[in-house]
Chain A
Amino acid sequence: MLATIGLQHYLILSALIFSLGVLCMATKRNAIGILIGVELVLNSANINLVGFSKYQTGKGDGQIFAVFVILLAAAEAALAIAIFMNFYNNVRTIDVDRGDELRG
């Protein structure tokens, strides 16, 4: 297991963080907790991109993709926080299970 670091190490780390992010999204009922889970998932994707960039292409394209992912994550967080604030203003809580007004 403790071999020289290769592509697989990056991929496995990424897989573990991805699963933890999914678990975080599934178990948190606080809307911001779900956002934190999304950030974990996006980070795991970035680890993949950097790993492939280092061990397969050797060019910067993986890093540039990761830069765009970070940018999207920032944009998504800004919008999500704005939506949560609106949600909080309407429902007076941030528990996502309370946002069930449209349920039939």
Chain B
Amino acid sequence: MIEDAAFYIFAGVSLFSAIAVVLSKNIVRAAVGLLGTLGGVACLYFLADANLLGVIQLIVYAGGTLILIVFGIMLTSQSPWVGFLPTKVQAIAASIVAVILTIGIVRLVTLVPWAQRNPDELSQSLTVKSIGDALLTTYLVPFEVASVLLLVVMIGAAYLARTEK
């Protein structure tokens, strides 16, 4: 019962912040809204017994990516209140597409009879240890590819962002 209420609260926080992201004209406020969404979704992960994922979301997304984004905003903005607003036609067209998309996906989700099982009956031994074991056995190839990708990204980003001489 409390868990259900908690789901609605965290889902509400995420959705509200996502709406704030879309509606805010100031880009820093949008980033703060994104922080709300990330935090709410991390709480949802905690609720779904995905502790490790929730913590990774907080440390990588909220503590790393988001700070990078805010850093990027600070480096590229000329004054705090410059907003680039879309034209009315663009905004209306985008809203219509988004509404159609929402209705379509929600309709699809409610139509499909998902084979759903009770999570209490599933053997849930999702400790950090089991996920770590899986990462180094079953998912070893993606894991290694990901580490190579990160290296490539690191070098690429450093090359792109260097000062021209």
Binding site for B on A (CB under 8 A): 2, 4-13, 15-24, 26-30, 32-33, 35-37, 39-40, 43, 46-47, 50-51, 53-61, 63-64, 66-68, 70-75, 77-79, 81-86, 88-89, 93-95, 97
15 other A-B residue contacts (CB within 8 Å) besides A7-B116, A24-B21, A94-B76 = A12-B110, A16-B15, A18-B101, A27-B22, A32-B72, A39-B34, A54-B119, A60-B130, A63-B53, A67-B135, A72-B149, A74-B65, A85-B161, A88-B75, A94-B84
Chain B residues closer than 8 Å to A23, beta-carbon distance:
22, 94-95, 97-98
Chain A residues closer than 8 Å to B154, beta-carbon distance:
78
Minimum distance in angstroms from A16 CB to a CB of chain B: 6
Q: Are B97 and A58 in contact (CB under 8 A)?
A: no
A103–B89 Cα distance when bound, in Å, is 21
Closest 4 CB pairs of A and B: A58-B122, A26-B94, A82-B160, A15-B105
Q: Are A63 and B94 in contact (CB under 8 A)?
A: no
Chain B residues closer than 8 Å to A81, beta-carbon distance:
68-69, 71-72, 157, 161
Please classify the interface of chain A as helix (H, G, I), strand (E, B), loop, or mixed, using the class held by over half of its residues: helix
Q: Are A70 and B60 in contact (CB under 8 A)?
A: yes
Say yes or no: A84-B7 contact (C-beta < 8 A), given A19-B102, A50-B44, A78-B68: no
Q: Are B52 and A63 in contact (CB under 8 A)?
A: yes
Q: Are A27 and B44 in contact (CB under 8 A)?
A: no
Say yes or no: A46-B76 contact (C-beta < 8 A), given A23-B94, A26-B97, A79-B156: no
Say yes or no: A40-B37 contact (C-beta < 8 A), given A19-B98, A26-B97: yes
Binding site for A on B (CB under 8 A): 3-4, 7-8, 11, 14-15, 18-19, 21-22, 27, 30-31, 34, 37-38, 41, 44-45, 48-50, 52-53, 56-57, 60-61, 64-65, 68-69, 71-73, 75-78, 83-86, 90-91, 93-95, 97-99, 101-102, 105-106, 109-110, 114-117, 119, 122-124, 126, 130-131, 134-135, 138-139, 142, 146, 149-150, 153-154, 156-158, 160-161, 164
Q: Which residue of B lies closest to A62 (CB)?
A: B50
Minimum distance in angstroms from A75 CB to a CB of chain B: 4
A93–B83 Cα distance when bound, in Å, is 11
